Amino acid sequence: MPEFLYNKKLYYNPVEFAMGRIGGTWKMPILWRLKDKTLRYGELKKDIPHITHKMLTSQLRELEEEDFINRKVFPVVPPKVEYSITERGRRSIQIIESIRAYGLELMDEFKVEHKK
Amino acid sequence: MPEFLYNKKLYYNPVEFAMGRIGGTWKMPILWRLKDKTLRYGELKKDIPHITHKMLTSQLRELEEEDFINRKVFPVVPPKVEYSITERGRRSIQIIESIRAYGLELMDEFKVEHKK
DNA sequence: CTGGATCCGATTTGATACTG
DNA sequence: CAGTATCAAATCGGATCCAG
């Protein structure tokens, strides 16, 4: 496999590159929430259990910077900011869905207790 | 999405669970190498650029423990240990392939320079 | 309401030395 | 050759405070 640089970081393969864009604990949950609706910052915060202010803002920044989501600021007081998915973000949903399906299979194999 | 415990760690969704098993920087490259051949420790080490001794051993341990790979020890001097993929590991290859294909698309979109 | 910045502890990883 | 143990460095993430 080839290795290559992107934004001064070294990647060893395409999988690592993909996970660098939409991986980590929070990016997929965020993209998933925006799949088919626009949400305000506070709504995302409320919808995603356990995510902290710091992680939500930083992950939103990165997703926006790489054009997976749009950020729309309304010049009102108090502030109102809406996040929506982009075409690039929409394409990521398919992969997220297949990883999710695989995860459910594994959970079944590993007999993980969970609610439907 | 439900949250659940596995091995005393809290997961928030199936995607996170799947990535907990086969994610991280090294597990997919290891599984990929073992896709259709058995390899000795030293061969894996040589085949995977940049991986350190410590990371290779720890990741092999985890993959073995969760039955993604087999470990076969030959009682000879010097030691000889062979790693091969299991049925569960083989099933992970499909997901790895689709993430890889998605990664290649993204690399193209982001105009990442790389060798074929 | 949204967001940036700082501090600090926890976790992860790399380098190195040692073993049968 | 394969593996373990230890220590240090780097990274990550949570809590908290300030701001428009």
pLDDT in tens, B77-87: 999 999 999 99
Question: What number is the average pLDDT over the span A6-32?
Answer: 94
DSSP state of A22: H
Is the pLDDT at A115 greater than 80? The verdict is no
- Position B1 pLDDT exceeds 90: no
Give the mean model confidence (pLDDT) for residues B39-66.
97
- Answer whether residue B4 is part of any domain: no
What's the pLDDT band for B65 if we cut at 50, 70, 90? very high
In a domain, B22, yes or no: yes
DSSP state of A111: T
Residue A29: cis peptide before it, omega within 30 degrees of 0: no
Taking the alpha carbons at both ends of chain B, their separation in whole angstroms is 39
- Is residue A80, in this structure, part of any structural domain at all? yes
Decide if pLDDT at B91 tops 80.
yes
More confident call, A3 vs A102: A102
Given strand B39-40, what is the order of strands in its sheet?
B39-40, B80-85, B69-74
Q: What are the backbone angles phi and psi of residue A69, rounded to the nearest 5°?
A: -140, 160
CATH of the domain at B55: 1.10.10.10
Task: From residue A46, give the alpha-carbon distance in Å to each of A41, A50, B5, B18, B91.
Answer: 9, 9, 22, 24, 36
Domain presence at residue B115: no
The whole-chain average pLDDT of chain A stands at 95
Name the pLDDT band for B60 (thresholds 50, 70, 90). very high
| Residue-number span of the structural domain to which B86 is assigned | 17-109
**Which residue, A114, A27, A102, is CA-closest to B18?**
A102
pLDDT per position as a tens digit, B5-46: 999 899 999 999 999 999 999 999 999 999 999 999 999 999
Inter-residue contact A81 to A74 (CB < 8 Å): yes
For helices A87-109 and A14-22, angle between their N-to-C axes, nearest 10 degrees: 100
Give the total residue count for chain B. 116
Is A5 within a domain? no
The count of structural domains within chain B is 1
Give pLDDT, residue A116.
62
pLDDT at B2 (0 to 100): 80
Q: What is the pLDDT of residue A1?
A: 60
The continuous run of DSSP H or E covering B19 comes out as helix B14-22
Q: Please name the member of B16, B100, B115 whose beta carbon is closest to the beta carbon of A15.
A: B100
The verdict on residue B36 lying in a domain is yes
Tokens describing residue B27: 């597990």
Percent of chain B past pLDDT 70, that is, above it, reads: 97
Q: Is B9 exposed, middle or buried (0-12, 13-18, 19+ CB in 10 A)?
A: exposed
Give the residue, B113 or B66, on which the prediction is more confident.
B66
- For the stretch A42-97, pLDDT in tens is 999 999 999 999 999 999 999 999 999 999 999 999 999 999 999 999 999 999 99
Residue of B nearest to A2 (CA): B115
Strand C: list protein residues with Cβ under 7 Å: A 40-42, 45, 53-54, 57, 60-61, 71, 73, 78-81; B 24-25, 50, 52-55, 78-79
Residue A72 lies in a domain: yes
> Is A2 inside any structural domain?
no
Asked whether the beta carbons of residue B14 and residue A104 sit closer than 8 angstroms, the reply is yes
